[in-house]
Amino acid sequence: MKINRDMPGKLKNFTLGAFLILILAGLASSCVHAPEPVVTPPTEEEPPATVAAPSLELIKEPLPPAVHALLRRAQAALERQQYQEAEAHAERAYRMDGRDYRVLFMRARISLAAGAPDDAEQWAQRALGSLPVKYKGHRKQTWELIARARAARGDHAGRDEALREARSVR
């Protein structure tokens, strides 16, 4: 664009301004745009936000008093977000009675809260294996914990599968 020195001042400024706007518009249109957000596939539903401890009293099989006390301490530490302390109590309870559902489920909850979803799922799977069939509510709750662990890993298909398992418990 050629600017004539004989042009009036306002017209020169207008012409220069229009020229600059055209240049900037061209630059803006050639800029790299942010990528479109990744859309996750629709899911059936989300697992519950928190997984509560199964009531120690609802399972009729008695716990040894020492194991019961350790699980209560682990629960209190978990509520205070003191994961190492909670894990220490749960580990001691596990050494005393490593086959009880309540012990295994507590370990799963602690692992999930501490950010170890792989460990959480392994403990929850073991808990399912030790849970008598008659405790359907606990079985559902364990599948929901597995769903949360899988979701934490980004395994949406696995989460949906675990939620279907939870819903199928009757």
Confidence of residue 9 (pLDDT cuts 50, 70, 90): low
Domain count, the chain: 1
Closest listed residue to residue 103, CA positions, set 94, 95, 111: 94
Let me know if residue 142 belongs to a domain. yes
Residue 19 domain-assigned? no
Query: Does some domain include residue 121?
Result: yes
**Spatial contact of 70 and 78, defined as CB atoms under 8 Å apart:** no
What's the whole-model pTM score? 0.68
Q: Is residue 101 part of a domain?
A: yes
Encode pLDDT of 84-108 as tens digits: 999 999 999 999 999 999 999 999 9
Is residue 92 assigned to a domain?
Answer: yes
Average pLDDT, integer, range 136-158: 95
CATH number for the domain spanning 123: value is: 1.25.40.10
Q: Which domain holds residue 163?
A: 65-168
Pair 71, 100: CB distance under 8 Å: no
Judge whether residue 131 has pLDDT over 80.
Answer: yes
Element (H, E) at 89: helix 83-96
**What per-residue confidence (pLDDT) applies to 133?**
84
Q: Are the C-beta atoms of residues 86 and 78 closer than 8 Å to each other?
A: yes
Cβ-based neighbour number of residue 11 at 10 Å: 11
Average pLDDT (72-90) is 97
As a whole number, the mean pLDDT across the chain is 81
Q: Which of 13-22, 57-66, 126-135 shows the lowest per-residue confidence on average (mean pLDDT)?
A: 13-22
Q: What is the pLDDT of residue 34?
A: 41
Please report where in the chains the tokens 């939620």 appear, as a residue: 163
For residue 106, being part of any structural domain is answered with: yes
Look at residue 39 in the predicted model and tell me its pLDDT.
41
The reply to whether 98 falls in a domain is yes
DSSP conformational letter for 24? H
